[in-house]
Amino acid sequence: MSQKKSFQGLILTLQEFWAAQGCVILQPYDMEVGAGTFHPATTLRALGPKPWKAAYVQPSRRPKDGRYGENPNRLQHYYQFQVILKPNPPNLQELYLASLKAIGVDLTLHDIRFVEDDWESPTLGAWGLGWECWCDGMEVSQFTYFQQVAGFECAPVAGELTYGLERLAMYVQGVENVYDLDFNGAEGPDRITYGDVFLQAEQEYSRHNFEAADTAMLFRQFTDAESACRSYLDAGEPEAGANSQRHRMAQPAYDQCIKASHVFNLLDARGVISVTERQSYILRVRELAKACGAAWLRTAAGGA
């Protein structure tokens, strides 16, 4: 296996590719999130008039998708490679295709298709139009033109690309089971597979997510995060009589919104949230996201 086709090689290639397009290459956000979109580099930076280009890997946690390491395609923890370009350049589709080429997808051999898929995140109060990108019938990326984030119109619109790294790597490597993925491209005893790195974690976290996660604690954490978010937003308001009307604590408040969202996902996986309650929890997180978005728009980076 060439270094380039290994799981980590794939990440390095994508980083290089997007760095060459002028993106800042960021590191994963240091909190548990359900998708790369939650990273403030996407959610918050998508708001406001300032141009922004970034790319990063984001470990994504979907507690409900855990399968105790027994399903070859499903994971409760996986990686997304996220690219955000604001405003979207006119040739974003071409750039995306060039990135596929860079990671070794031969465009004269493979059938790449853009199939309608409108993206919506009810918890982030965000939506956009775009596609699932198919490679020979398999969805390998999401491609979205953000129209609204945190309840605010995106002006200008950002283009977001999300690569499902495991899927893409399985495709590039021709592997049927995610745990068989070549992680580091080394030979002999140095060879490391995805399973070597993550199989045990998948088993342990599935157990945790479905059986052990302390629900009483999680319910508490949800309320705590919710009220912390509100109080940080209050505390970040400009002092009375201050010259600047800028908000001063949008990002710490948003961290609490992320936290509430993840705690909700854990509670959902534990099956302790009924169908009707589910909606109200989602709404509560959305309210936080909206308030954080509003605060962000009153910061320097938000264009105020």
Partner 1 sequence: MPDLLLELRSEEIPARMQRRAAEDLKKLVTDALVARGFLYEGAKAFSTPRRLALHIAGLPARGEAVREERRGPRVGAPEAAVQGFLKGAGLTSLDQATTVTDPKKGEFYLAVIERPGRETLDVLAELLPEIIKNFPWPKSMRWGAASAEPGSLRWVRPLQSIVATFGPETETPEVVPFTVGGITAGTVTYGHRFLAPEPIEVRRFDDYIQALERAKVVLDPERRKDVILHDARDLAFARGLDLVEDEGLLDEVSGLVEWPVVLMGSFDESFLDIPAEAIRATIRANQKCFVLRKSGSEDLAPAFILVSNLVASDGGQAITAGNERVVRARLSDAKFFWETDKATRLEDRLPKLDTIVFHEKLGTQGARIARIAALAKDLAPLVGADPELAERAARLAKADLVTEMVGEFPELQGLMGRKYATLQGHHESVCAAIEEHYKPVGPSDRVPSDPVSIAVALADKLDTLAGFWAIDEKPTGSKDPFALRRAALGVIRLILDRGLRLRLLEQVGAADRSLAGRAGADPQDLLGFFADRLKVYLRDQGARHDLIDAVFALPGQDDLLMVVRRVEALGQFLDTEDGKNLLAGYKRAANILRIEEKKDNRAYDAAPDSTLAAAGEPAEQALAEALAKARETASAAVAREDFSGAMQALSTLRAPVDAFFQDVTVNAPDPKLRENRLLLLNALRAATREVAEFSKIEG
Distance CA 42, CA 294 (A): 15
Please tell me what DSSP assigns to residue 89: P
Give the 3-state secondary structure of residue 25. strand
Among 112, 192, 199, 249, binds partner 1 (CB under 8 A): 112
Among 128, 164, 236, 302, binds partner 1 (CB under 8 A): 128
DSSP code string of 103-155: TT--TTTS-EEEEE--EEETTTTEEEEEEEEEETTEEEEEEEEEEEETTEE-S
In this chain, which stretch among 2-10, 257-265, 270-278, 286-294 interacts with partner 1, using CB under 8 A? 270-278
Give the 3-state secondary structure of residue 218. helix
Write down the least CB distance from residue 28 to partner 1, Å: 27
Interaction of residue 73 with partner 1, rule CB under 8 A: yes
Please tell me what DSSP assigns to residue 179: G
* ω into 156 cis (within 30 of 0): yes
In angstroms, the Cα distances linking 217 to 66, 222, 266, 269 are 21, 9, 11, 15
**CB nearer partner 1, residue 110 or residue 248:** 110
Site string for partner 1, 181-220 (x = CB under 8 A): ----------------------------------------
In this chain, which stretch among 6-14, 89-97, 227-235, 261-269 interacts with partner 1, using CB under 8 A? 89-97
Interaction of residue 68 with partner 1, rule CB under 8 A: no
For residue 126, which phi and psi values (nearest 5 degrees)? -125, 150
Distance CA 107, CA 11 (A): 20
In this chain, which stretch among 125-133, 186-194, 219-227, 238-246 interacts with partner 1, using CB under 8 A? 125-133
Interaction of residue 113 with partner 1, rule CB under 8 A: yes
Interaction of residue 101 with partner 1, rule CB under 8 A: no
Among 10, 75, 124, 154, binds partner 1 (CB under 8 A): 154
Interaction of residue 227 with partner 1, rule CB under 8 A: no
- Please give the torsion angle defined by the CA atoms of residues 56, 62, 63 and 65, in that order, rounded to the nearest 10 degrees: -130
In this chain, which stretch among 17-25, 210-218, 228-236, 269-277 interacts with partner 1, using CB under 8 A? 269-277
Q: What residues line the site for partner 1 (CB under 8 A)?
A: 49, 72-73, 87-90, 93, 106-116, 118, 128-131, 135-138, 145, 147, 154-157, 159, 171, 176, 274-276
